[in-house]
């Protein structure tokens, strides 16, 4: 069946309400391509989305999906995957969802290393609430709630991930369609938590981190000969504040996903018609 799957099968019949030109269109297309390329189909795929412009993605894609509360998409995704390891689980959210309200979950999802993919549509702005600073906004980025800029350094999500023991860290650019799809595909194929931060420009509220800005500043790690299995090289690239890059920056080839470590491999949706066999032994324990 998988060979017949095309990426458009992952598209729903609902038209996105994202602003024309929004980076999220490209981000989503790449996700759909990567899912199709890895042999998945909508009925074995589960997409979890958070809140914000990015959160609408579950409506525009065709798969099993849950659009949850703000910042908590990652634990939902982990729950889905552990309860049914046969599913392909992809979590999508924005920079506010993942690095602000959900930052705590991000750290622990990275540590937990459940075999799933996390795509963050990072536009460095709050778009759905019409233009306030996000955790990845620049220090001097003026917005309605930060007239002088946030005056705080932006979060470095990849550094946060690396410090939390990530096994796969990548970055992509939504408009570089082929490269973006390729990078998400690598995250899906990774045995463990595949994290991709995607530059997904907001054309309405962010006039700094624009398509032109990324086109001019972005370097591709692959072209630079970066070895993603070299931890020190990954660390240097991630901590270089002046460098905007795309590509897989770190991959731990020894990664053993949570499910495998804990022997969680069975689909939990099957339940016996009565108490499971051996349940009476539980009572006898209390003698």
Partner 1 sequence: MPADFNWAIGGEAGDGIDSTGKIFAQALSRAGRHVFTSKDFASRIRGGYTAYKVRTAVDPVQSVVDRLDVLIALTPRTIEENLDELHEGSVIIYDGERTTMEDVEIPEGMIGLEVPLKRLAEEAGGAIMRNVVALGAACEVAEFPIENLDSALEKRFGSKGQQLVDNNKEAARKGQDYVGDEYDHDFDYDLETTDEDYVLLNGDEAIGMGAIAAGCKFYAGYPITPATDVMEYLTGRIQNFGGHVVQAEDELSAINLALGAARAGARSMTATSGPGIDLMTETFGLVATSETPLVICDVMRSGPSTGMPTKQEQGDLDMLLYGGHGEIPRFVLAPTTISECFWKTVEAFNLAEKYQTPVYLTADLSLAVTEQTFSPEEFDMDEVEIDRGKVVDDDTISEWQNEKGQFQPHALTDDGVSPRAFPGTGEGAHMSTGLEHDELGRRTEDTEMRIEQVDKRNRKVETARNEEDWSPREFGDPDSDNLVISWGSNEGAMVEAIDLLEEDGVDVRFLSIPYMFPRFDLNEAFENADEVVVVECNATGQFADVVEHDTLTRVKRVNKYNGVRFKADELAEDIKQTLEA
List interacting residues with partner 1 (CB under 8 A).
13-14, 42-48, 56, 58-59, 62-69, 72, 74-84, 86-87, 104-105, 107-108, 262-264, 266-276, 278-280, 282-284, 286-287
Query: Measured from the CB atom, is 25 or 64 closer to partner 1?
Result: 64
Q: Which one, 225 or 263, has the nearer CB to partner 1?
A: 263
Minimal distance, residue 14 CB to partner 1, in Å: 6
- The candidate with the shortest Cα–Cα distance to 251, out of 188, 199, 200, is 188
Q: Find the shortest distance in angstroms from Cβ 135 to partner 1.
A: 18
Shortest Cβ 191–partner 1 spacing (Å): 19
DSSP lists the bridge partners of residue 105 as none
- Given the complex with partner 1, which of 54 and 175 has the nearer CB atom? 54
In the bound state with partner 1, the residue whose beta carbon lies nearer, of 201 and 257, is 257
Q: How big is the CA angle at 212 (ends 132 and 195), to the nearest 5 degrees?
A: 65
Q: State how far the Cα of 52 lies from the Cα of 146, in Å rounded to an integer.
A: 19
Written in H, E and C, the secondary structure of 52-109 is CHHHHHHHHECCEEEECCCCCHHHHHHHHHHHCCCCEEEEEEEHHHHHHHCHHHHHHH
Which residues are within 8 A (CB) of 235 and not within 5 positions of it... i.e. 6 or more apart?
A: 162
Q: Least CB distance from residue 259 to partner 1, whole Å?
A: 9
Instruction: Work out how close the CB of 265 gets to partner 1 at its nearest, in angstroms, rounded to a whole number.
Output: 10
Closest CB to partner 1 among residues 242, 273? 273
């Amino acid at each position: 069946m998988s060979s017949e799957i095309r990426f458009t099968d992952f598209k729903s019949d609902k038209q996105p309400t994202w602003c024309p030109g929004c980076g999220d269109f490209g981000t989503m297309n790449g996700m759909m391509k990567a899912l199709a390329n890895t042999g998945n189909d909508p009925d074995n795929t589960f997409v979890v989305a958070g809140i914000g412009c990015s959160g609408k993605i579950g409506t525009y894609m065709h798969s099993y999906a849950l659009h949850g509360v703000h910042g908590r998409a990652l634990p939902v995704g982990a729950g889905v995957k552990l309860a049914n390891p046969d599913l392909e689980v992809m979590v999508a959210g924005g920079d506010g969802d993942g690095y602000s309200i959900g930052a705590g979950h991000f750290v622990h999802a990275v540590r937990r290393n459940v075999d799933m993919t996390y795509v963050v549509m990072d536009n460095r702005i709050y778009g759905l609430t019409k233009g306030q600073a996000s955790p990845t906004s620049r220090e001097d980025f003026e917005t309605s709630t930060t007239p002088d800029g946030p005056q705080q350094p932006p979060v470095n999500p990849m550094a946060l991930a690396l410090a939390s023991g990530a096994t796969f860290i990548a970055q992509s650019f939504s408009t570089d369609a082929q490269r973006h799809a390729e990078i998400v595909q690598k995250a899906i194929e990774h045995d463990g938590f595949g994290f991709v931060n995607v530059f997904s420009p907001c054309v309405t509220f962010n006039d700094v981190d624009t398509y032109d800005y990324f086109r001019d500043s972005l370097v591709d790690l692959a072209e630079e000969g970066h070895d993603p299995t070299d931890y020190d090289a990954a660390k240097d690239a991630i901590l270089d504040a002046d460098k905007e890059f795309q590509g897989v920056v770190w991959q731990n080839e020894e990664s053993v996903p949570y499910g495998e470590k804990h022997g969680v491999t069975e689909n939990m949706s099957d339940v016996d018609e009565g108490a499971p066999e051996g349940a009476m032994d539980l009572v006898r324990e209390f003698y």
